[in-house]
Amino acid sequence: MKKIAIIGGGFSALNLAWQLLNSDATEELTLEIFEKDRQLGGMAGGFKEKNWDWTLEKHYHHLFAKDLAFQKFLKSLDLENQLFYQKTLTSTRWQNKTYQLDSAWSLLNFKELSLIDRLRTGLVLALLKILPNGQFLEKYHASVFLQKTMGKKSWQIIWQPLFEAKFADWAEEINMAWFWARIKPRTAKLGYVEGGFQFLADQIEKKLINKGVKIHFQSEVKKIQLVDRQKNKGPQLKLIIKSLKAQPAKLQEKNFDLVINTLPSLQFAKLIDLPELKNNPLKGLAAMTLTLRLKDKLLKDGTYWLNVNEKDWPFLAVVEHDNFLDKRFYNNEHLVYIGKYLSRKSPVYQYSAKKLWQNYLPFLRKLNPKIEKLLIDYRLNKEDFAQPLVKIQHSLNLPAMRTSCPNLYWLSMQHIYPFDRGLNQAIVASNQLAQQIKEDWGF
Ligand SMILES: Cc1cc2nc3c(=O)[nH]c(=O)nc-3n(C[C@H](O)[C@H](O)[C@H](O)COP(=O)(O)OP(=O)(O)OC[C@H]3O[C@@H](n4cnc5c(N)ncnc54)[C@H](O)[C@@H]3O)c2cc1C
């Protein structure tokens, strides 16, 4: 009987567990998930206020119509009927005006650019969309490539503000393959799951428990240690786990034949000393999302996703969830996310919800002068590692899923490339790892 542990309970872990259990040799393995939170779902997890029927994500989440791996995952769970798609409106805020900018037609009407620049921008976007694989573009800086092909103004007005808001000081260093991979899977219709992604994670939890998986909540893995066993038994890995349920918190040790870590390098390096985690070039940014519960809409023009291209505004996007999903699922409340990426070391990352709200307020008033009167409540969620930085020739830095420590595997958003980290890619990558483990271990 092989004992397997998975560290972290996000969607990568959920799919890994599901795929490993759907092998031919399920009687030969036991599987345990250690999650430091009280629930599964990770960054796509959410919460539910009193009188809401559906859960809401801590950070805005949607799928694209071409997210086939996620669709297949739901099908294998018999949950595919919960997935649905809806057309949404994307706009851009630029110099105190809001422009719909989400189709060839709307780009052609975007008079802030000359006709030539509009045509160049549209042509480059169309070429990127039909390009089957754009990884070779990783040798170019997106900032240089886009200025040369789409025009300087197109870069300055449309793309530069987004790169700066997403990648802060590293905006000029991001490679062009990343940009291709952002454009390629985009579809006009966006996908969502009935009940919200937390509800989905809760249903998967039940299915995993029915299959015999042990899920340990509020169990934070603190260390991974290699244990050499005698008599040709092969090495094991010892997990040192802090139970956050107990007061005071208790430490516990457990041995496993095989351990899969799903945390990014920032957190992984605290668990074990591995050569590939030393001086590692896999840097990333943190995210903070302020969620507003409102009595009425903030964005009255139907926009779901508003890119904020204003130079001095302190956030990247305003996402009006109720312009995507019906407010009746949330007791008729209007829900708006204000998104931002930044360095963990930035003083703003330490802000409380109240301080961030006060900091955002003058800008939100420009979108809707009545915003303060509409407010029911706000809530702040932070992620220390939310967006990997992908610089020139990033493929040379990609970490292996089989680590240098025997029997220890690793899968995180840093293994996903050139596509941006996302739920669909988390499923693609965890399918690959499950396959590799089955081959290595003969499951
Ligand atoms: C702001 C934002 C917006 C996003 N929007 C989208 C979107 O629209 N569409 C989309 O597809 N994707 C989106 N994503 C990305 C998506 O959330 C992730 O790709 C996906 O959730 C990754 O899942 P994961 O399992 O790899 O990692 P995670 O979800 O990060 O899971 C890791 C888990 O490990 C747990 N953990 C951490 N440390 C320990 C420890 N020491 N011991 C035990 N457990 C631990 C954490 O609590 C967490 O549950 C977004 C992400 C962010 C931050």
Residue by residue, DSSP assigns 260-282 as EE-S-HHHHHHH---GGGTT---
Distance from Cα 32 to the centre of ligand 1, integer Å: 19
Give the neighbor-by-neighbor strand order of the sheet with 250-256.
Answer: 219-227, 236-243, 250-256
Distance from Cα 29 to the centre of ligand 1, integer Å: 26
pLDDT of res. 43? 98
**What number does the ligand 1 atom closest to the CA of 62 have?**
8
* Residue minimizing CA distance to atom 5 of ligand 1: 61
Distance from Cα 41 to the centre of ligand 1, integer Å: 7
Given a contact cutoff of 8 angstroms between Cβ atoms, the answer to whether 409 and 268 are in contact is no
Pocket of ligand 1 (CB under 6 A): 7-13, 34-37, 42-44, 59-63, 220-221, 262-263, 267, 287, 289, 339, 383, 386, 412-413, 421-424, 426
Residue 80 CB: number of other CB atoms within 10 A? Answer: 14
Strand segments (E) across 228-262: 236-243, 250-256, 258-261
Q: What residue ranges of the chain are covered by domains with CATH 3.50.50.60?
A: 2-53+196-279+398-441
**What number does the ligand 1 atom closest to the CA of 386 have?**
53
Give pTM, 2 decimals: 0.95
**What number does the ligand 1 atom closest to the CA of 67 have?**
11
Given a contact cutoff of 8 angstroms between Cβ atoms, the answer to whether 55 and 199 are in contact is yes
Given a contact cutoff of 8 angstroms between Cβ atoms, the answer to whether 104 and 122 are in contact is yes
How far is it, in rounded angstroms, from Cα 359 to Cα 382? 16
Nearest Cα neighbor of 110 from 95, 126, 130 is 95
Distance from Cα 12 to the centre of ligand 1, integer Å: 8
Q: What residue ranges of the chain are covered by domains with CATH 3.90.660.20?
A: 188-194+284-388
Q: Give me the average pLDDT of each 10-residue run along the chain (443 residues).
A: 96 97 79 98 97 98 96 98 96 95 93 96 97 97 98 96 91 96 92 98 97 97 90 86 88 96 96 90 91 98 96 95 98 98 95 98 97 98 95 94 97 94 96 96 87
pLDDT of res. 25? 65
CATH topology of domain 188-194+284-388: Polyamine Oxidase; Chain A, domain 2 (3.90.660)
Distance from Cα 262 to the centre of ligand 1, integer Å: 9
Max CA-CA distance within the chain?
75
How far is it, in rounded angstroms, from Cα 416 to Cα 402? 15
CATH topology of domain 2-53+196-279+398-441: FAD/NAD(P)-binding domain (3.50.50)
Which whole-number Å values give the CA distances from 46 to 57, 327, 340, 364, in the listed order?
4, 16, 18, 24
Distance from Cα 121 to the centre of ligand 1, integer Å: 33
* Residue minimizing CA distance to atom 35 of ligand 1: 8
Which residues, in sequence order, are CB contacts of 136 under 8 Å at separation 6+? 177
Best probe residue, ligand 1, of 15, 35, 43 (max atoms within 8 Å of C-beta): 43
Distance from Cα 264 to the centre of ligand 1, integer Å: 10
Which whole-number Å values give the CA distances from 306 to 265, 293, 349, in the listed order?
31, 17, 22
Distance from Cα 193 to the centre of ligand 1, integer Å: 17
pLDDT of res. 231? 67
How far is it, in rounded angstroms, from Cα 429 to Cα 417? 10
Which residues, in sequence order, are CB contacts of 105 under 8 Å at separation 6+? none
